[in-house]
Structure 1
Amino acid sequence: MSGSELRQIEVDGTRIAVRHRTGGSPGLVWLGGYRSDMCGTKALALDEWAASKQLAMTRHDYSGHGESGGAFEDGTISRWLDESLVVFREFTSGPQILVGSSMGAWVALRMIQELHKAGEGDRVGALLLLAPAPDFTFELMEPQLSDAQREMLQEEGVLREPSEYSDEPNIYTRALFEDGAKNRVLDGIIDTHCPVHILQGMQDPDVPYAHAMKLVEHLPADDVTLSLIRDGDHRLSRPQDIEMILRVTEGLIEQVQKRVA
């Protein structure tokens, strides 16, 4: 569809693939999860819905993901954050709703911190966080590492584990862990200065719902809603999950429009 064709920009020498649709405000910005791409079920459903509402939407693949260049093993939160900020500034205008899925929620929270530092915080009208996994390296993975895994990370610089979602193993590098510690957001108050809605499955095997509840504790100054889906898993890609995501998105859009009216 015209307006959502593949675009490419270069960030620090790496080709980043972007799909941007022009349209009304507020726009939507999709931030995918670890090893996910911008053409997954939720991202496509949201893009189709945005098109039906004539709203702008921007998606991109982090380096080492999907249609972008670069090696996955070279990726870190800092690198993917920088790429996301460049895409945000290059392709969007006016207030945006950041929709972060899993690791993408971590990137979204770091983005809003960096945008506020740069005096651009009003560009984010709201946050929608799906099965959010902020600080997942430090909070969720590190405590579970065995001695053998820690040794492998230190000696080989990489940890490979079977994936439930792909034939390819999950790859976690020592650089990812070290950089993740520098990007922690659950070590203090997160001032987003905008509405935040979190959708979290209670049957999520990857990110326990207690993690989403912990995130809420770090967002005390904001308009925060946590919706727990009793039978929801990590993907939140079932038809009923998609329907809920779109319903919540529509509510956030109405909130943003009222605030800027």
Structure 2
Amino acid sequence: MNEQTIEYITVGTAAEARDIAILSRKAQHDGDAPALVWLGGYRSDMTGTKAVELDRFAAENGLACIRLDYSGHGASKGDFNKGTISRWLEETIAVLRHTAPKRIVAVGSSMGGWIALRLIEELRKDKHGPEVAGLLLIAPAPDFTFELIEPNLSEAEKASLKDRGYFEEPSEYSPEPNIFTRDLIEDGRNNRVLQGIIQTGCPVHILQGMQDADVPYSHALKLLDHLPADDVVLSLIRDGDHRLSRPQDIERMLAAAKSLVL
């Protein structure tokens, strides 16, 4: 697997400018096989287990693979606390314009699943953007701010949002707490996808752990209700958690990816 160098592009102007990190692997042969596009989760980055394994799969099969870190994540610059779905979606679209794949399979993990669904909506409006050939969603968290956070806010968290503009909660995955800002929550309301029929126009494969403590599997079932017109496969993993990074989970992810690209 050849060594990759991080490339940076600048998204936004003046005070809103931020340098976004990209790892992009070119296809090894001509053809119309879609590029795999990795869209990570909240506070994750493009060097996590699933992202690296997806890139390895691409290398072994001569496929293009595009990974990015949203602003405030991983190798990208920018203030994490300014992050919103709209902002991170804007960066994703900018990366796709820069790398210019003709066809893609979007692979969205957790919050990346929400961004993938919004991405499809935006690309449908763009006559020059890539065609979406498939969608692979891993423990997807569409509308998580509206559906999973807002209904469960404590009075102390509501007060913190009002007075400080954010609230904190302990993270299972980091010694640093998760920070959820008022801007993230308000912007989330403007990016909801679980409101009507989601027209993806492509096959969709969803992997969801039934022991997921962050995004309950009922949320994946709700998403399914909004995808009635598409070729959708939902794989429920009885002992799977939110990360779905065990060897057997990676095998499932790569099998699903293979079904969408090869």
TM-score, normalized by the shorter chain, greater than 0.5: yes
Structure 2 counterpart of 1:21: 25
Structure 1 residues 14 and 122: CA distance shift in structure 2, 3 A:
closer
Structure 2 counterpart of 1:94: 102
Q: Which of 127, 132, 136 is equivalent to 1:119? A: 127
Q: Counterpart of 2:224 in 1: which secondary structure?
A: helix
Output the CA distance in 2 between the equivalents of 1:44 and 1:31.
12
> Stretches of 4+ moved more than 2 A in 1?
1-4, 119-122
Q: Deviations over 1:59-91 (max 9, x none)?
A: 000000000000100100000000001101211
Q: Residue type matched to 1:181 in 2? A: R
Q: Which of 156, 159, 163 is equivalent to 1:148? A: 156
TM-score by length of 1: 0.95
Q: Residue type matched to 1:224 in 2? A: V
Contact 1:4–1:20 under 8 Å retained in 2: yes
- % identical aligned pairs: 61
Output the CA distance in 1 between the equivalents of 2:92 and 2:3.
19
Q: Does 1:214 align with 2:222?
A: yes
- Alignment of structure 1 residues 165-184 onto 2, 5 Å: 165-184=173-192
Q: Which of 237, 247, 256 is equivalent to 1:248? A: 256
| RMSD, matched Cα | 1.2
Q: Residue type matched to 1:28 in 2? A: L
Q: What stretches of structure 1 of length at least 5 have no aligned partner?
A: 255-261
Structure 1 counterpart of 2:136: 128
Once the two structures are TM-superposed, the CA of residue 253 in structure 1 deviates from its matched residue by 1.3
Q: Residue type matched to 2:22 in 1? A: V
Output the CA distance in 1 between the equivalents of 2:82 and 2:196.
28
Contact 1:95–1:122 under 8 Å retained in 2: yes
Output the CA distance in 2 between the equivalents of 1:203 and 1:120.
41
Q: Which of 199, 208, 211 is equivalent to 2:207? A: 199
**Matched pairs, number:** 254
Structure 1 counterpart of 2:6: 6
Output the CA distance in 2 between the equivalents of 1:85 and 1:149.
32
Q: What stretches of structure 2 of length at least 5 have no aligned partner?
A: none
Output the CA distance in 2 between the equivalents of 1:83 and 1:46.
21
Output the CA distance in 1 between the equivalents of 2:67 and 2:129.
20
Q: Counterpart of 2:34 in 1: which secondary structure?
A: strand
Contact 1:26–1:97 under 8 Å retained in 2: yes
Q: Counterpart of 2:136 in 1: which secondary structure?
A: strand
Once the two structures are TM-superposed, the CA of residue 205 in structure 1 deviates from its matched residue by 0.1
